[in-house]
A and B are shown apart, each in its own frame.
Chain A
Amino acid sequence: MDNIAGSKPGLTWAVHLSVALLVIAWIFPTLGLFVSSFRSADQIATSGWWNAMFPSEQNLTLRAAGPDAQVQDGQLFVIEGNLFDEGVEAVISVWGTSSREIDAYTPGQTAELRGGGEITVEADGTYRLTSTEAFEGSRGPRVFATAVAPPEFSLKNYDTVLGQNVIQRLMMFLAAGAALGAVVFFSLRAARPEMDPGWVKGGAVVVGLGLTVILASVLGLSTGTAAGAEATDSMAQAFFNTLTVTIPATIIPILFAAFAAYALAWMDFPGRALLIAVVVGLLVVPLQLALIPLLKFHNEIGIGKGYLGVWMAHTGFGLPLAIYLLRNYMVGLPRDIIENAKVDGATDFQIFVKIILPLSFPALAAFAIFQFLWTWNDLLVALVFLIDASGETTVMTRQIVELLGTRGGNWEILSTAAFVSITVPLIVFFAMQKYLVRGLLAGSVK
C-alpha cells in the first residue's frame, strides 16, 4: 500500500517523524522512573534525570575520617584521607565547613574548624586535618562541597527497597536457572528429537525457573536490611503478598468461566440468550457497587478481611469478562469436530475436557493475562477486602501510595519501589503480547 500512487516521499518522512515523536512522548515518563531508580538521592534532587548521562554539579555533604585515624606528627595531630569513596572521580569547585557557607573556600585553601584545628581540601577531595591537640569524639567534621561528579548509577536504592543485594543474588540465581534450562533444552532436543519443540521449550523454562526458585528459597535473596532503610520502605514482603493475591485469583476464575462458557456456546437450553445478555450487562457493572455489600457479607460469614476474601472478590469480578471472552472464542470453534465427537458417543464432559479446553488455549491465555495484570495492578479491591489494621497483608500498590504520602520527596525510594512493582507486569506484557492483543480484540463488545 505504501508505495503506490498517492504517497509522496515527503509524507513518508512526516510519518516516520510523527511516529518517532509519539514513541518518545510515550516512553519518556517511564524512562524517567527507570533511570531515577539507579541514581542517588542527591543526584535526583539536584539535576533532571535526562542529565544523568552527563557529569553534573552537585552540592554534597561529606565527612572527614574520625579521630581514630589521627596520627601524631611532632607537635601536630594529623588526619589525612579523601572525602570521596574510592573510585569516585568528582572535582570540587568550592567548599565550606558550615551549611550556611558552603562556598566559603576554593580548593587548596585552609579553613579554621569550629572545634579547633584546620582543614585543607584539594580539588580531588583529598584533605588534611591538623590540630595542636588530639581530635576527640567519634566522628570527623563535615565538609560541604560543590563538586562536578561524573554520571553514576548504582543498585543502592534497590538495596534499600528490597533488602541488601537482592538484585545481585536474583541475577545470579536467574543465570544458574538459565544455564540449567539451556542444558535441559539442548540435551532433550538431542536425545528426543521427535518431541514437540513447544513442549521442550516449555519444559526447559519450567526447570530453569524451578532451579531459580529453589535457590532463592534455600539460600535466601536478601543478606540483610540496608542501612537507613525504614520498615515502610521494604517492598519485599509486599511483593510476595501481591503474588499470593494474584496467582489464585488468576487461576480459579478460569475454570469456573470455561465450563459456563461451554454451556453458553454449545448447549441448547431455554434461557440461554437471556443468560448471555446478563453476562454482557454485568460486564460493565462498576465494582464500586460491590464494596460495602460484599464486605458486609464477608464479615457475616466470618472470613472478614484477608486473602480468602480478596481471592473470592477477584474471582467474582473477573468472571463476566472471562465468560464473555471464552464464549466468543468457543462459538467460533468448528461445529464438525464437536458433532463428530457426539456421534462417536462422547459425553459433554469429555468433549469439553478433551476437545474444547485444548483448542481454547489462546483465549484462556488471553484471559489469564488480563486477570493477572488486573489483580497485580489493583488497589481498590485490596484496600477494601484484604488490608486490615495490622498492615501485614499490604500489597505493592498500597505500599507505593503509602510511600507517596510519607516519603513523597524521596524520589530514589519512590521510583525504585514503583519500578519494582511494574517490572513483573511489564515482563508478562512483553512475553505474552500476542495473546493480550488477541484477547483485547475478542473482548471488546462488538
Chain B
Amino acid sequence: MHPAIQGLITIVIGVGGCIGYFYFSNQFLDKVLFPARGPNAGRNINRANMIRPWLFLFPAIVALGLYLAYPVVETLRLSVTERIPGGGSEFVGFANYAQMFSEPKFWEAMRNNMLWLIIVPAFSTAFGLLAAQLTDRISWGNVAKSIIFMPMAISFVGAAVIWKLVYDTRPEGQDQIGILNAFWVAMGGDPQTWLTIPYLNSILLMIVLIWIQTGFAMVILSAALRGIPEETIEAAIVDGANPFQIFFKIKVPQIMGTIVVVWTTITLVVLKVFDIVFAMTNGQWQTQVLANYMYDKLFRANDWGVGSASAIVIMLLVTPILVWNVHNARKEMR
C-alpha cells in the first residue's frame, strides 16, 4: 500500500475513531448504563458524572502510560539486566553501570554534557535577554525578532549543515569557503580544521545550539519585560537611574522567575541534545555527549544494558528539574 494512502487511512481511523469513541462512549454512559430517567435518575446522573472524566481521559492516559511512564520503568529494568544469547535476560545488578563507569568515553560524555549544561543555557539566556531588551526599543524590532527567532524552525540537522559550512576548511593557499577560516586567515592565521580540535570543537557545537535557542529565550523574556509595571521604571528614572541601572537593578530582578524558567527549559533541551553531535562529529575528537553515547551503545554496539544505564543517567540529570516543575505546578494550582 502506498504510504500516502496508508497515512490518509490512519488519519481517518485516528480522528474518526477518536471522535467516535468519545461520542459513543458518552452516549452509552448516558443512555444505557446510567439513563437520566426512571426512579434512580438523580443517582444515575451523579454516577455518570463520576465516570465521564475518565472516559475523556482514557485514550490520553493509555498513550502516556504506554509511551512515557512504562518505558521509564522498563529502561530501569533493562539497565540492571543483560541479554542472554537466544532470548531472555538475566539480572546482573549494577554490572552495566560498573562497566559504563569504567569507560573513558562515558566520562568524556559526562564532562562535555556538564560543559554544555553550563555554557548553552547561560549564553542563550544572556543573548535572548539582550535581544529582547534591545529590540523592544526600536522601530524595526519586530523584523529583528523574527530573524533571531527563525533558527527555532530549523532542524538540528539543517543547523548542523549550515554551521558545517561556516566551519569548513580548505588547504592553505586556497580561498577559504568557511567564514570562520576566512576571518582567521584574514587576521593572519593558518587555516584550521576547527571540528577536530578538542575542547574548541565542543564549544563550536554549542554555538549551534545557542544560535537556535536564543530566539526562544528572547520571545519569552520579551513578553516578561513588557509585563513589568511602568511605574517602577518611571520611579527609577525620576530618581536619576541611568539605562544600565534600570535594566540590571529594576527590570532583571522583576523577571527573575521567567529567567529561571527559560534557563531550565534550555537545560532540558541540552540534556537531550543528540542530532547536532550526531550529524557534525558523531562524537569523534572528544565531542561525545550522553545522548549520542547512548545511541552508540544501543544501536551500534547493540548493548542494551549499558545503553539503558546511560539513559537512566540522563533521566537522573533531568529529575531535579522534573521535581521543581511539579512542585511549581502544584503550588500554582492551590
Measuring CB to CB, which residues of chain A are less than 8 angstroms from any residue of chain B? 1-2, 4-7, 11-12, 15-16, 18-19, 22-23, 26-30, 32-33, 36, 44-50, 240-241, 243-244, 247-248, 251-252, 255-257, 259-260, 262-264, 267-269, 272-273, 275-294, 296-297, 307-308, 311-313, 315-317, 319-320, 323, 347-349, 352, 373, 376-380, 383-384, 393, 397, 400-401, 404, 411, 414-415, 417-418, 421-422, 425-426, 428-430, 433, 436-437, 440-441, 444-446
Contacts and interface: CB of A to CB of B under 8 A. Distances in A.
Contacts of B153: 373, 422, 425-426, 428-429
A3 to B, nearest CB: 10
A275 B54 CA distance: 11
A7 B243 contact: yes
Contacts of A400: 157-158, 161, 279
Nearest to B333: A273
A288 B311 CA distance: 6
Nearest to A257: B60
B110 interface: no
Contact of A29 (B166, B176, B214, B312): B166
B155 A5 contact: no
Contacts of B330: 273, 277
Interface stretch (B17-25, B94-102, B114-122, B198-206): B17-25
A273 B53 CA distance: 13
Contacts of B124: none
Nearest to B16: A255
A288 B269 CA distance: 12
A368 to B, nearest CB: 13
Contact of B22 (A6, A349, A433): A349
A302 B174 CA distance: 55
B177 A307 contact: no
Contact of A376 (B64, B155, B261): B155
Nearest to B51: A269
Contact of B219 (A255, A348, A415, A437): A437
Dominant secondary structure at the A interface: helix
B328 A446 contact: yes
Q: For chain B, what secondary structure do more than half of its interface residues adopt (helix, strand, loop), or is it mixed?
A: helix
Interface of B: 3-4, 6-7, 10-11, 14-15, 18-19, 22-23, 26, 30, 50, 52-54, 56-57, 59-61, 63-64, 66-72, 74-75, 78, 127, 130-131, 134-135, 137-138, 140-141, 144, 146-158, 160-166, 168, 170, 174-179, 182, 211, 214, 216, 219-220, 223, 230, 233, 237, 241-243, 246, 257, 261-262, 264-265, 268, 271-272, 274-275, 278-279, 291, 294-295, 298-299, 304, 307-308, 311-312, 314-315, 318, 321-322, 325-326, 328-330, 332-333
B156 A377 contact: yes
A376 B155 CA distance: 8
A195 B259 CA distance: 45
A257 B4 CA distance: 25
B158 A313 contact: no
A380 B295 contact: yes
B67 A317 contact: yes
Contact of A404 (B10, B57, B61, B161): B161
Contact of B151 (A26, A49, A257): A26
Given A260-B60, A349-B22, A429 B150 contact: yes
A49 B177 CA distance: 7
Given A33-B162, A380-B274, A307 B3 contact: yes
Contacts of B160: 404
A404 B163 CA distance: 12
B11 A251 contact: yes
A254 to B, nearest CB: 9
A397 to B, nearest CB: 4
Contacts of A426: 150, 153-154
Nearest to B136: A1
Given A48-B177, A247-B7, A319-B63, A444 B262 contact: yes
Contacts of B14: 248, 251-252, 255, 311
Contacts of B135: 19
B124 to A, nearest CB: 12
Given A285-B68, A401-B157, A421-B155, A379 B275 contact: yes
A404 B275 contact: no
B275 A445 contact: no
Contacts of B50: 269
A8 to B, nearest CB: 8
Contacts of A281: 322, 325-326
